Structure 1
Amino acid sequence: MELWIPITIAAAFLQNLRSALQRHLRSSLGTRGASFVRFGYGFPIALLYVLILHFAVGYSLPALNTGFVFWAVVGGLAQIYATIMLVYLFSLRNFTVGTAYSKTEPMQAAVFGWIILGETLKLGAVLAIIIGVIGVMLISVARTKLTIGNLLAALFSRTALIGMASGGVFGISAVAYRTASLSLDGPNPLMQAAVTLVCVTGFQTLYMLIWMLLIDRAEIGRVARSWRSSSLVGLAGVVGSAGWFTAMTLQQVAYVRALGQIELVFTFMASVLVFKERVNTLEVAGCLLILAGILGIVML
């Protein structure tokens, strides 16, 4: 077995674990607090990761530039608000459905590339997008009577729009991070990605701390008191991100992202076994269609 395969599976598992822990924290913290712990408790770990690569492995530190700073800030802000939307989504629908909505990111990226950049979509990509959209619509009406009217209205429901917006903003974040990392003149992609990760996480921590100081100072105290669970969110988030970056240095991104959709399997397991949530037939079918659409996009 090639090394990138277990690394990708581990990264997908850690990403799912992070989301599950954030959902659990949502009962004791506000949306901002549950979102902050991913960055605030992850920053020290990201910093340690860079120091190990520099002092233990011997990789040199790349020099920062204005282009890097711009794209790192854009990506950091996009990830903050995408995370907030995803955590809020967990309060509207169950864990499986919330995660599935956010997995529309690759399909949206294909559409945005066609509209904004004029990139040509292959017939297979168009079919994959249609399959994914049908999956989203099925999830939206899974708890109501299945009619054509409800299916058409589902695409514009509050839950669907928030979920798809989360996936879209996560897509913007990913593009910005890649642009920031490529702008660095580093020794190798691994170090460039690590430096990008620590700079962005540091910025996100500072940004959200100031935000909470201005809006809800009591939330900071609740975040501090939840340090046991919150530190696990930070650890899972940063180690998972490091895993994604490492896998993508060993294998093409398309293959890594395709295998990474195994996260939906972990999501179903967590929803049923951990959160004791009931997932009906239409929700299962919708998630599978979204997964099929994603795989169709990333494998073309």
Structure 2
Amino acid sequence: MKFNPDADLDTSGVEDTRGSGRGGGGLPGGMIPVGGGIGGIILLVVILLLSGGLPGSDGGDQPAVQNTAAGNLDSCKKGSDLQQNSDCRFVFYQNSIQSFWAAELPRRGKKYIPAPMRVFDGSVSTGCGPATSAVGPFYCPPDKRVYLDIGFFKTLQTDLGARGGEFAEAYVVAHEYGHHIQNLYGILDRIKSRNGPTSDSVRSELQADCLAGIWTNHATTVPNKSGQPLITELTEDDIARGLDAAASVGDDRIQEKTQGQVTPESFSHGTAAQRMKWFKTGMDSGDMTACDTWSANPL
């Protein structure tokens, strides 16, 4: 994955609260109260892991990410800043994803409302309730905001077995912005059934994977405000890592790892095969009309 060193970056929609003490208290296990269409839209129910939480979910140390300094994303103004601050890649992801949807939705007659991305550590207070890092990245509809603890991506590799890499990170961020697109269309209000292999929750999550794939299709052509491309290259290895990340967060993979057995009646996000399928569907088509998981049978 290559980033344009000459691109201008926009940090106005990236809120870096790490180390600021602005997080707020989290619930045990990092759970967010279900209500208002919230349940089933978090990327991972990682609280299923082993003792009910990931390392650090009880307030202890979170997995470290190399070259990370708290509250440092405000300094990411140019693409070249990535050389001094590797965290600037998250500004690239957010800028590219938002720029794509800001152009795509009006083309389809829909107004795009920007969604900030709040980067936090430890715990955070949201319009969906308090959460800890153990919840994983998530989107909160009342806030119209994506929440992200960068330490999660280390956990994605160490606990869930993903290969990792920059595009695996980008896929996760794009998935959460997929939920924002759903929210703007009123789709999240349709979520009634939250568990089961064909539940509304599963259909919502697979659609968000598909929407992430659509951005992927266009990623290397998305410009910033000055017309410069933000991401200049995605390789086959990048795409493979994105598909691998999608598979690693499949319900069946997580349940097999944590329970030793698969129970489809408790699915909330879809199987590894389904998540890869719908991400690839969006990526291959580049067209939102290909992402109708609500009428698809089988998924």
TM-score by length of 1: 0.28
Q: Which has the larger radius of gyration?
A: 1
- Specify which structure has the higher proportion of strand: 2
Identify which of structures 1 and 2 has the higher relative contact order when contacts are C-alpha pairs closer than 8 Å and 6+ apart. 1
TM-score by length of 2: 0.28
Structure with greater helix percent: 1
